[in-house]
Every structure is written in structure tokens, then in C-alpha cells.
Amino acid sequence: MGLKYKDFGKKAGDTLGDDYYSYDRSLEVSTKTSNGTSFKVEGGTDGKDGPISAKFTGGFKAYGLDFKKVSVDSGSRIGVETKFAGVMDGLTLTAVIDTGFGGDFKKRTIKADYSTSGLTVNAEVDTLKSAVTTYASFGVGDISLGGMAKFQGELKDYNAAFAFDGGDFTLSAATTKSLSGVNVGYFQKLSNDTDLGATVSAALADPAAASLEVGCVYTVDANSKIASKINSGGVLSLGCNQAITSGITLGASAEINAARFESDDHKLGLSLTFE
């Protein structure tokens, strides 16, 4: 199966991503029944004066449909993501809805994903904004190439992407904002227990103002992972995921603005996950 357009640079992004850095106070409990039905309850607060947020999500299969996510949150929002498979070989259709109890839609999207051994085509139809976004990518050996275009009455956005898989490392580049910017990602597996990721984002009109982020994830053992990253703005982030017992994971993270150490921009976060 070919590399999806949105997955160009994914390995570098995951190394620097939210799996290790969360600055809320949160609790998550998830489980799955013997017939494949899944349940997840989430709650948390950002540590400010706002209320505690809560969300319930379920997943199940019925009437030949795969309800990947059916959710209700404390903000009176209802979310549904349903997949339709078996229309034809390699094709999957997905409907995504986000609405309030009064019918005030924030999202109403239909997605189509088609994949063969070397070609991947994805399309998203936003029925609220009357917008259509298409993505296509294909691979030849270790190289993947892709492109996207967004139409909303007229051509609104278009970009291209490249990725090279070198085995223990990957290099990717994708343009942004109709070829006016570029994101470059680099991932390398330094050893069996250490991953390195780096991203650079720049506007082609002003490459000197590019932003850089570099980080790594170290797997201490089967139960512990430690992550760290720093960006060109001098913000240092540290994160740790520790499995306390089977099915219970504690996460802790900190963000330190080293460029403005005297400020109150620093953050701390704790999470507890039951599975």
C-alpha cells in the first residue's frame, strides 16, 4: 500500500508529537468487550479557571457499518465517525459529523480513500463549506511523491510532497499554502531504543525566519519511555510515559521557556490512562 499524502513526515511528527507532551490534567479510561465494542471516558482540566471537560466515546459495528467513534462531551457536542467498507476493492468511505443537540453543525464531511499497492487517492467533501480537497500519492521503490488540491468555488490551495525511505531513516518535504512555504521532516532510528526526529518549517519568501524543532524518544524498557525536544524559540519540553501496572499508564510532561526563564510561560501536565 502506498504512503498517504497526510503521512508524509509522519514519523518525524510522531517523535515530536502529543503522545509525550500534554499540559492538561487528564484522566482516561478505556476498555473493549468480547464482541469488539469499545468504550472510552476522558476528563480533564487545563489548570486554569475553566470547567472540567468530559467526553464519552464508543465504537461498535452494526448493520454492516463500522462506527469508529460515537461521542458525547460536556460541551453538548455529538460526534459520529462511520466507515463503509466493501463498496469495491481498496475503497473505503467515511462520514464524519460534529453537531450540537440543537443541530448546529461544526463538521459534516464525507471522505473517500482508495489504495492499491503503489497508489493512494484520498478525497474529502466538506458539505458545510462546499469544499472538496483531493490528495494523491504513489511510490516507486524508496521514493514517494504526492500532491493535493482544494477547491471551494475556485482553486484555493495546492501543494506537493516528497519522501525518501532509507531504511533506518526517512526524509520528507511538503509545500504549504500554495507552494509559498515548505515543511521538512527527518526521522532516524539511532538504535533499537532511541528515535530522533526533526522538523523545519519555512516561508519561501523569508527562509531566514524558519522554525526548527528537534527531539528524541528513548525507550528505557517495555514499561517506560522518555522524550525531549527543543525548538528554535528556546522552548524545551520533557515528557515521560510510565506503565505503573498492566493497563495503567502515568504520563508527566513539562515545558520550559529557556529564552524567557523569568516568565510564567512554563507548563506542567499529568495524565493517567486506564486500558
All structural domains of the chain, each given as residue ranges with its CATH number in brackets, are 5-274 (2.40.160.10)
Query: In whole angstroms, what is the distance from residue 141 CA to residue 164 CA?
Result: 9
Which of left, alpha, beta for 153 (phi over 0: left; psi -120 to 50: alpha)?
left
- Measuring CA to CA, which residue among 122, 168, 160, 116 is closest to residue 142? 168
275 confidence band (pLDDT: 50, 70, 90): confident
Q: Which residues of 115-141 are buried (b: 16+ CB within 10 A; e: fewer)?
A: beeeebbbebebeeeebbbbbbbbbee
State the average pLDDT over residues 160-182: 96
Residues in a beta bridge with 195: 189, 217
Q: Which of 42-51, 71-80, 213-222, 240-249 has the lowest mean pLDDT?
A: 42-51
Write down the pLDDT at residue 48: 65
Query: pLDDT-derived band of residue 223, with 50, 70 and 90 as boundaries?
Result: very high
Tell me the backbone φ, ψ of residue 159, rounded to 5 degrees: -155, 170
State the Cα–Cα distance between residues 109 and 102, nearest whole angstrom.
18
Instruction: Give ∠ CA 252-18-71 in degrees, rounded to 5.
Output: 105
Q: What is the pLDDT of residue 27?
A: 87
- The strand pairing partners of 159, in sequence order, are 148
pLDDT digits (tens, 9 = 90+) for 30-43: 999 998 899 999 99
pLDDT-based confidence at residue 47 (cuts at 50, 70, 90):
low
Note the pLDDT tens digit of each residue in 175-196: 999 999 999 999 999 999 999 9
Please report the pLDDT score of residue 50 as a whole number: 66
User: Which of 35, 69, 68 lies closest to 55 in space, CA to CA?
Assistant: 69
CB 122 within 8 A of CB 4: yes
Asked if residue 66 lies in contact with residue 85, where contact means CB atoms within 8 angstroms, the answer is yes
Confidence of residue 262 (pLDDT cuts 50, 70, 90): confident
- In whole angstroms, give the CA distance from residue 44 to residue 112: 33
Residue 120 in this model has a pLDDT that exceeds 60: yes
The three state secondary structure string of the chain is CCCCHHHCCHHHHHHCCCCCCCCCEEEEEEEECCCCCEEEEEEEECCCCCCCEEEEEEEEEECCEEEEEEEEECCCEEEEEEEEEEEECCEEEEEEEEEECCCCCCEEEEEEEEECCCEEEEEEEECCCCEEEEEEEEEECCEEEEEEEEECCCEEEEEEEEEEECCCEEEEEEEECCCCEEEEEEEEEEECCEEEEEEEEEECCEEEEEEEEEEEEEEEECCEEEEEEEECCCEEEEEEEEEEECCEEEEEEEEEEHHHCCCCCCEEEEEEEEC
How far apart are alpha carbons 3 and 136 in whole angstroms?
A: 9
